[in-house]
Structure 1
Amino acid sequence: MAPEPPAFVRLAAHPLRWSLLTALAGRDLRVRELVEHVGQPQNLVSYHLRLLRDGGLVAVTRSSYDGRDSYYHLDLDRCSAALTATGTALHPGLLREPAPVRPGITVLFVCTGNSSRSPIAAALLRQRTGGRVAATSAGSHPKAALHPEAVRVLAEEFGIDVAGQRPRHLDTVAGQRFDHVITVCDKVREVCPAFPHRRHWSIPDPAAAPGPGAFRRTAAELDTRVRHLLPELGAAQDKEVPS
């Protein structure tokens, strides 16, 4: 008897599910946005989203701005592991290293207060690329100072010192060109100016989360997102280089 295709292939091979996965690649979206993207009825989209959730490829979080909304996103580590297993099942030679990120890319992370999520994300991207990516952050309503827990977690978990950094307003980067703009809180997504190449990561505010460890979990989630952003940045540069 022929072996069954890997679970990832069985899930992702359906045209509508593949459309949902590709729509969620790199950005978090609400159901109505996914319905508009794929042009299918909401009940059908919800059914296939449930299959993707049951298969561990897609996760959902309640909007921290409007509790009636939810954002869907890819579980990037699970997808990466599933893709690796799928490639290995076919032939080990199919695995390859992603293209390295060269200098020249500019990325702006935006949240409301610019005191935790966006500065954490920018610091992690700078570290992951050795400073080759010019990553900065700003807020629609910046706080007076970085949250002390954000400063502590970056120092203790990643060896990054941002103690001298101060939140900045979006107005301070108005008119600047960015290759990528990433909103990291649900509220600012609704008020952020219409930057080109914008995407959304739905990251709850760790300062509003109950219990200990919220900032550590937020930094870990942002680090995962940043790690999976790097191959995309490298691939985009490769496409720009003439052969």
Structure 2
Amino acid sequence: MKPSGQAAPPPFVRLAAHEVRWRLLSELARSDLRVRELVALVGEPQNLVSYHLRLLRSAGLVSARRSSFDGRDSYYHLDLERCADALTAAGAALHPALRLSPAGTSEPPGAETSKAPSVLFLCTGNSARSPMAEALLRRRVGSRAEVTSAGSHPKARLHPHAVGVLRRRYAIDLSGRRPRHLDTLTGRRFDYVISLCDKVREVCPDFGGHPRRLHWSIPDPAGEDDCLAFDRTAAEIDTRVRHLQPVLFPATRQEVRP
């Protein structure tokens, strides 16, 4: 029996303290995944995994989207922004001195001499999602990373709404950019290969050097052909790109807030 007036642990602490839920959060922090993949990774029965996913979804920490490759399947995604807010609130609830604040952007001595990580973004047409991801990451990290993108079935040109939203909201000019075929990258090595399309994830070839494979399940905004859909897609990609920075540069304190 808890003493009178003693506060209960914050909801995030109660949720994350369970071993299975913590393992699910840890796996989803790396990549969007399907239930069967989570079952294999955490080594628990599907009904138990589905139960804990429902709790995480009810708390708003995890969301699900139907796969564009197989509509009977869904990808689960961890909302890192909401997790950061929940962790900040949990620290402040224990003691004001533990209120978390965004990390600085200063680099440790010698960071500039480390090898620049190479990142490849993939989608089907290389006309919207993957070139937007390429441009938004390059905008944030400059020459500290080698960034490119490609598609399994590239379109003839970039989608005009993709070009427009990057120019309007992020001051990025992609007017001279053309979609690139995945085959043109044969023989190149990458540290990270990130698919933004459920379809291309299924056909992505193996790359030498054992790159880290990540998946961001993001619907194709061209399916709606609406400027607002491209605005939403660009904002989601930019959020994911911000949280990718500490992964690419683990020895560097990164600002992951807007």
TM (normalized to structure 1)? Answer: 0.92
Partner-residue secondary structure (3-state), 1:149: helix
CA distance, structure 1, for counterparts of residue 28 and residue 86 of structure 2: 16
Question: Structure 1 stretches of 5 or more lacking a match?
Answer: 239-243
Aligned equivalent of 1:167, options 179, 183, 186? 179
Name the CA shift for 1:66/1:14 in 2 (closer, same or farther; >3 Å).
same
Does the CA contact (< 8 Å) of 1:99 and 1:231 recur in 2?
A: no
Asked if 1:188 corresponds to 2:200, the answer is yes
Q: In structure 1, what is the equivalent of residue 256 of structure 2?
A: none
CA distance, structure 1, for counterparts of residue 151 and residue 198 of structure 2: 13
Q: In structure 2, what is the equivalent of residue 114 of structure 1?
A: 126
Q: In structure 2, what is the equivalent of residue 202 of structure 1?
A: 217
CA distance, structure 1, for counterparts of residue 12 and residue 49 of structure 2: 18
Count of matched residue pairs: 238
Asked if 1:95 corresponds to 2:107, the answer is no
Shift of 1:87: 2.3
Aligned equivalent of 2:164, options 125, 146, 152? 152
Aligned equivalent of 1:2, options 3, 6, 10? 6
CA distance, structure 2, for counterparts of residue 149 and residue 210 of structure 1: 8
Shift of 1:149: 0.5
Does the CA contact (< 8 Å) of 1:30 and 1:69 recur in 2?
A: yes
Shift of 1:94: 6.2
Asked if 1:218 corresponds to 2:223, the answer is no
Question: Structure 2 stretches of 5 or more lacking a match?
Answer: 254-258
Aligned equivalent of 1:66, options 70, 82, 91? 70
Root-mean-square deviation (CA), in Å? 1.9
CA distance, structure 1, for counterparts of residue 175 and residue 15 of structure 2: 45
Q: In structure 2, what is the equivalent of residue 241 of structure 1?
A: none
Shift of 1:211: 5.3
Q: In structure 1, what is the equivalent of residue 147 of structure 2?
A: 135
208-217 vs 64-73, greater mean Cα deviation: 208-217
Letter in 1 for 2:203: V
- Greater gyration radius: 2
Does the CA contact (< 8 Å) of 2:15 and 2:56 recur in 1?
A: yes
Asked if 1:26 corresponds to 2:38, the answer is no
Letter in 1 for 2:248: L
For 1:8-34, what per-residue CA distance to the aligned partner results, in whole angstroms no more than 9, with x for missing partners?
111110000001000111210001111
100-109 vs 2-11, greater mean Cα deviation: 100-109
46-55 vs 84-93, greater mean Cα deviation: 84-93
Identity %: 65
Aligned equivalent of 2:138, options 126, 129, 134? 126
TM (normalized to structure 2)? Answer: 0.87
Shift of 1:130: 3.1
Partner-residue secondary structure (3-state), 1:176: coil
Does the CA contact (< 8 Å) of 1:99 and 1:235 recur in 2?
A: no
Partner-residue secondary structure (3-state), 1:129: helix
Q: In structure 1, what is the equivalent of residue 41 of structure 2?
A: 37
Letter in 2 for 1:191: V
Asked if 1:17 corresponds to 2:40, the answer is no
For 1:125-161, what per-residue CA distance to the aligned partner results, in whole angstroms no more than 9, with x for missing partners?
0111134222110111111111111000000011100
Does the CA contact (< 8 Å) of 1:113 and 1:142 recur in 2?
A: yes
